[in-house]
Structure 1
Amino acid sequence: MEEWLTNFYKTEKQKMIENCIECGLCVKHCSIVDKTDLRDLPPKKIQKDCLDFLKNGSKNDTVYTKAFSCVECYKCVEGICPQGLNPMVMNEIIRSEYIKNSDLEDQYSNPKDYNSIHKILSSIQVSKEDYTKITSSSEKKSSKYVFFPGCNVYFQPEKILNALDIIDTITKDYAFVPGLDYCCGNNELYFGKIEKGEKNINTLVDKLASYNPETVIFWCPTCQCRFDKTVPIIKDIPFKVVSFSQFVSEHMEKLPIKEMPNTKVTLHEPCKSAYTGLDLTGTRDILNNIPGIQLIEMPRHGRNTSCCGSWCTLHLKDSSNKVKEERLQEAANTNADLLIDVCHFCHEFFSLEEKNYNYSIINYANLLAEVVGIKREDKHKKYKHWKDLDMIMKDAQEFIQQSPYSEKEIIEILCKVYEISL
């Protein structure tokens, strides 16, 4: 199989070396650089160092911070570079070469692994029946729709189950492809594993296409963006792609919506969906069609929205937290009762801070499930707040007994994820 994506990155690297004029506009428009130690450096100097790295591998702290702080928000992907280059791809190339040619710890973890964090954590939050449901592909048959949740939402499995129940209310003509057996390739590309990412993309497209769908519904904004910007480099996509919120917003009349009297909400949308224009209205339409809800927009919203900062937390935690705190305070200034998030990653990053603000933080799919009468608890959020192994083990005991994993494996993951010391 020809390595289309690998060759693309090689070609893009050469284009950057030949065509980048070191204007620094991509740095100036970056969502995260001004929250890092690079904030006082001239953008042109930062860009020059990055270009020097591409030319001759010259490493320094500036290059590392610029590439590894990237939150992959897609803000710089279109309409920024006067030469038509893709600065986010430049960051991916730098990370890939940096990881290959240094002693940096490889923080990549494969959600497909039998004992992945995703699988173990998911298995103790839902019943054995529900765990099987969200980890098994539908039987092979033609379906109008296919729902694909992506991988990282498995930390919060009730969201997948809520989404499936909502889709099931709207239509029976759909199939399900689990996100732990298949991947959009983003995790691999972020951690510099381009060949592996390409293989995963090909496998996923073929699997989705095997159901002959008209439309594939993505839960994850990152998956949707990859299918818009990266996948077409490799192969044709024989189906339409929409977000879960776009799908639901088109079928709200089929849902038995209950009123939420006098509830003020503000919305934190996925930055990449907004910056690319892929989904600016789906969640807003849902919220505006729930009786009793008043949507109060934050100053930064739509194409002018803010990132949550979560993607750079592995490498630059302080910078990541600055972005988060700024956004959560912006939400607080609206005096809303609820902060509604869309992306599970944003929810993961925000939810622990709920105790510091006068609003509750809830994902839009869980809110929607609540107003149609579906009751499921956000256990991951609860456990993050508890940070108590005994309390978690007691609360999850029923599901732990049904889990395919040993108590030792489960405890190890709980301590790692919830930062619990034994």
Structure 2
Amino acid sequence: MQPLNAISFETVLGERVEDMLNACTRCGKCVEVCPSVKPAGIADASPRDIIGGVLELVRTGAGPEASRKWAASCMLSGECIKACDYGVNPRFLLAMARLGMTKAARELPERRRQGVEKYREMGRDVSVLSQLQLDDEVLERLGQKSASVATPSEVPDFVFYTGCNVLKTPHIALLALDIMDGLGISYQVMGGPSHCCGVMQLRAGDVEMSGRMGSSTIAKLSQSKSGEVISWCPSCFVQFTETTLPTLERQQGARPFEMTPFMGFLGGRLAQLKPLLQRPVPMRVALHRHPGVAGVVEAAVELLTAIPGLELVDLKQPAVGLQSFNIAALPAFKRELQLNELQAASDAGIDALVAVYHSDHRELCAHERDWPFRIVNILEVIGESMGLSRHDRFKELKIMQDADQIVAECSDLIARHSLDQAIARDVVVKVMLGDQPLPLRGGSA
């Protein structure tokens, strides 16, 4: 018999999956509550048949079309988790179903190559967009440069894990640090491509490489007094808490830390935060909501309603998905949701539409040009009441809607970071301006 820690990550993950497959009763409740079912065009299929087919997909990579559509259209809303009475995580099973389909379609060398390519592409995009906005000193503060490997002189209270893509909109991450400074919390910042959660490799179907990368990052994150990691990115949060951490716990016999979403972290310290919310913010705002991480929307509402002078308006719009990025599984539905929300915000006469996550901000912020309200991140509003501010350079650049103008505006930082101008322009076109699922009303330049 092999020692416990000698068993591969993929083997142990498979054992977890098998336990969950055996626990599933195929009752179909998870399908009944899922907001993806109708826009995916499978509302007429039997919920019991759909979930039964998903179990086939997990085991063999083959299954009925309705089940394949359900797995492919998952927005990670998390309603299925709340609906299950048997301790099954249907969202995790859908991820394993997509993994099964990918494995059935391509051999490991191709999957591994694709995972590497996607990882490198993501790393390039994050690096270029952050360097177009920040100098080395600020990048260092965000855990990049030498800070990504430096050992702090004193063990911090917490590790703040940014993930990767929030670095494209760095004012959000910087405000998170400023707020923690205001609370008197010591922390070490980790994140970026050198601290990958492994989700890119899992999506490509390379389980073992996903486990290696995630385990390597977890080892780096396991260095705080509290044994708690504060996480910004919801994709990383789901990847770690539903795939990697439980598998490592089973593989090694212990969980190295607990992970808390930043909104939940702030919400849990509302009593400590309230005395710092001294400046009135006389605005009528609406919250752009995604319920995929339990408690985040509720914490965001509590935080906003604690700000003096602020009025929170409910636009009565559907709240689905983990974040805006994940609704890309249903592009037409996504455009409809975003247009309806913008119109409802305009009709309500709000001053600002407030988003939580970075992908929401990237996709929505340029619409500020065309609608009679601002589009901001929740940390900007909290920061304003605390007397904190960070310039939203990403939105300023994206609203220009002209790649050549954006590159010209960033020429000093392009030179300072020795970036290739053609590569910088390509990233601006494909990533900054291309991240626009709902076209701007006035069109792009």
Q: TM-score range, shorter-chain basis? A: 0.7 to 0.9
**Higher helix proportion:** 2
Which of 17, 32, 39 is the matching residue for 1:35?
39
Deviation at 1:358, TM superposition (A): 3.9
- Secondary structure of the 2:195 match is coil
Quote the residue 2:172 is aligned against. Answer: 159
Distance 2:205 2:420 in 1: 32
Q: 2: CA distance between counterparts of 1:108 and 1:91? A: 23
Letter in 2 for 1:88: R
Letter in 1 for 2:434: E
- Asked if the contact 1:184/1:226 (under 8 Å) is kept, the reply is yes
Does the CA-based 8 Å contact 1:169-1:254 persist in structure 2?
no
Q: Note the 1:85-164 alignment, pairs <5 A.
A: 85-102=88-105, 106=114, 116-134=124-142, 135=144, 136-137=147-148, 138-140=150-152, 141-164=154-177
**C-alpha displacement at 1:223, in angstroms?**
3.5
Alignment of 1:74 onto 2:78: yes
Question: 1: CA distance between counterparts of 2:172 and 2:430?
Answer: 22
Q: What's the Cα RMSD here? A: 3.4
The letter for the 1-side match of 2:320 is S
Task: Output the TM-score relative to the length of structure 1.
Answer: 0.84
Give yes or no for contact 1:72–1:311 (8 Å, CA) kept in 2.
Answer: no
Contact 1:222 1:272 in 2 (8 A): no
Residues 1:260 and 2:272 are matched in the alignment = no
Instruction: Give the 5 Å matches for 1:7-26.
Output: 7-15=11-19, 18=22, 20-26=24-30
Aligned pairs for 1:185-204 (under 5 A) are 185-204=198-217
Structure 2 alignment gaps of length 5 or more: 436-443
Q: Which of 292, 297, 302 in structure 2 is aligned with 1:285? A: 302
State percent identity of aligned pairs: 24
Q: CA deviation at 1:18?
A: 5.0
Q: Do the aligned partners of residues 22 and 115 (structure 1) sit closer, same or farther apart at CA in structure 2, a change above 3 Å counting?
A: closer
CA contact (8 A) 1:188 1:196 kept: yes
Q: Secondary structure at the match of 2:391?
A: coil
- Structure 1 residues 215 and 87 mapped into 2: Cα distance closer, same or farther (>3 Å)? closer
Counterparts of 2:265 and 2:21, CA distance in 1? 41
Decide whether aligned partners of structure 1 residues 383 and 61 sit closer, same or farther in structure 2, where only a CA change above 3 A counts: farther
State the 1:227 CA deviation. 4.7
TM-score, normalised with respect to structure 2:
0.80
**Cα deviation code 1:346-373 (max 9, x no counterpart):** 2223334445544322111122333434
Give the conservation status (yes or no) of the 8 Å contact 2:26–2:48: yes
Deviations 1:361-417, CA, capped at 9 Å, x for gaps: 211112233343444332323333333112211222222222242112211211211
Does the Cα contact within 8 Å between 2:321 and 2:327 map onto a contact in 1?
no
Q: Amino acid of the residue matched to residue 99 of structure 1?
A: T
Q: Distance in 2 between matches of 1:117 and 1:159?
A: 17
Q: 2:434 aligns with which of 403, 406, 419?
A: 419
Out of 360, 367, 370, the position equivalent to 2:374 is 360
Is the contact between residue 235 and residue 322 of structure 2 (CA under 8 Å) also seen in structure 1? no
Distance apart, 1:281 and its partner CA: 4.0
Q: Is 1:234 aligned to 2:248, yes or no?
A: yes
Give 5+ residue unaligned stretches, structure 1: none
CA shift, 1:114, in A, is 9.2
2:415 maps to: 401
- Structure 2 Cα separation of the partners of residues 313 and 281 of structure 1: 21
CA contact (8 A) 2:264 2:299 kept: yes
Contact 2:315 2:341 in 1 (8 A): no
After superposition, the Cα gap between the structure-2 partners of 1:260 and 1:312, relative to the gap in structure 1 and judged at 3 Å, is: closer
Partners of 2:308 and 2:98 in 1: CA distance: 47
Deviation at 1:344, TM superposition (A): 1.2
Partner of 1:370: 384
Q: CA deviation at 1:341?
A: 1.2
CA distance in 1, matches of 2:6, 2:388: 47
Superposition map of 1:175-254 within 5 A: 175-230=188-243, 231-235=245-249, 236-249=254-267, 250=269, 251-253=272-274
